Amino acid sequence: MTTLLGPTVDEPTEPARPPAPRRSGRGWAGYNWLAGLAGWFWLAVILIPLYWIVITSFKAQSDYYQSNAFRPPTDPTLDNYRLVIENDFARYFVNSVVVTVGTTLPTVLLALMAAYAIVRGADSRMLKRIHALFLLGLAIPLQAAIIPVYLMIIKLGLYDNLAAIAIPSIAFAIPLAVLVLANFLRDVPRDLFESMRLDGANEWTMLWRLAFPLTRPAMVTVAIYTGVTVWNGFLLPLVLTQSPEQRTMPLAVTDFQGQFQVNVPAVLASVVLSTVPIAVLYTIGRRQLVSGLSEGFSK
């Protein structure tokens, strides 16, 4: 009909609309409510004790017994922290720093060299057995070996010394460090090592100029994990030291707990002071720690 009456007129056509994206799941019904509730419950389990510890450390001893335990202090005081610091807290802090640094640095360096040797000498049967020996060290808990460690420390004449804590801590930290660093080194292309070898570099040069820079994120991960573990270590300082001059922070907390059996706010102030350094360290490097460990175990 339109062709008979005259020229046709083009009717405006609407542009084609892209298909609407499909919604994944079934709206609110697609959420895992059970997992969400469990996560919130676990968060409350962690935060409520931390909240109680912090607010109680700022309460006076009389306010602690008269007021609600979860109510913030009406008149905050720093007397508890002053009391803890005046009782050789600085000495315990320095001892923990010495043990932590004296354990972390040798662990990272020794683990890097061991991981480099294992990865570069993957065709060697002896190095494969050494790698298996390192992995076996992960299966031996510290509690099962504390008596042999104690006897060896006595034979070496290191009992009641900070070195008695650092040396076994290095031995128990190396297996995990070697596992993480070896998995990172396996991802380094062999062509880089071969090109450096053609340029006349030896194994030590390739270790420090190639492997060391490329595995620096993994080394930070190992350092943070080792530092946190050694700082919180309780069994080795308890068994291998005796005098108050050689005590570390975890033992210092128990000492304050015995010294201030009734003064609960002072005990919690010592807990807060011993936790702050490692909490700051974890906050700074938590992403590096979690990502490094997940990548190291998944490769």
CATH of the domain at 113: 1.10.3720.10
Mean predicted lDDT score pLDDT of the chain: 82
Confidence band of 228 (pLDDT split at 50, 70, 90): confident
Does residue 264 belong to any structural domain of this protein?
yes
Does residue 19 belong to any structural domain of this protein?
no
CA distance 155 to 143: 20
pLDDT digits (tens, 9 = 90+) for 24-48: 445 555 568 888 889 899 999 989 9
Does residue 251 belong to any structural domain of this protein?
yes
CA distance 48 to 45: 6
pLDDT digits (tens, 9 = 90+) for 143-183: 889 999 999 999 999 999 999 999 999 999 999 999 889 88
| The pLDDT value given to residue 4 | 46
Distances in whole angstroms, Cα of residue 289 to Cα of each of 9, 23, 39, 282: 69, 35, 21, 8
CA distance 92 to 273: 11
Confidence band of 3 (pLDDT split at 50, 70, 90): very low
Does residue 240 belong to any structural domain of this protein?
yes
Distances in whole angstroms, Cα of residue 202 to Cα of each of 110, 122, 199, 210: 19, 18, 9, 11
In this structure, is the dihedral angle defined by the CA atoms of residues 142, 146, 151 and 157, taken in order, positive or negative?
Answer: positive
CA distance 160 to 139: 28
pLDDT digits (tens, 9 = 90+) for 101-127: 999 999 999 999 999 988 887 677 887
Here the tokens at position 206 are: 């390739």
- The three-class DSSP label of residue 215 is coil
| The pLDDT value given to residue 151 | 95
CA distance 48 to 283: 19
Does residue 54 belong to any structural domain of this protein?
no
168 or 292: which carries more pLDDT confidence? 168
Which H or E run includes 177? helix 162-185
Amino acid identity of residue 95, one-letter, is N
Confidence band of 5 (pLDDT split at 50, 70, 90): very low
Q: Is the pLDDT of residue 278 over 90?
A: no
Contacts 24+ apart (CB under 8 A), 61-66: 61/262, 61/263, 61/264, 61/265, 61/266, 64/264, 64/265
DSSP classification of residue 263: -
Q: Is 199 exposed, middle or buried (0-12, 13-18, 19+ CB in 10 A)?
A: exposed
60 or 9: which carries more pLDDT confidence? 60
Domain with 119, as residue range(s), is 79-298
Does residue 69 belong to any structural domain of this protein?
no
Picking from 44, 51, 46, the residue whose alpha carbon sits closest to that of residue 268 is: 51
| The pLDDT value given to residue 19 | 58
Q: Is the pLDDT of residue 259 over 80?
A: no
The whole-angstrom distance between residue 285's C-alpha and the CA centroid of its chain comes to 8
Highest mean pLDDT among 166-170, 216-220, 258-262, 275-279: 166-170
Does residue 243 belong to any structural domain of this protein?
yes
Is 265:60 a contact under the CB 8 Å cutoff?
yes
What's the structural domain count of the chain? 1
Residue 273's Cβ-side half-sphere holds a number of Cα atoms within 13 Å equal to: 29
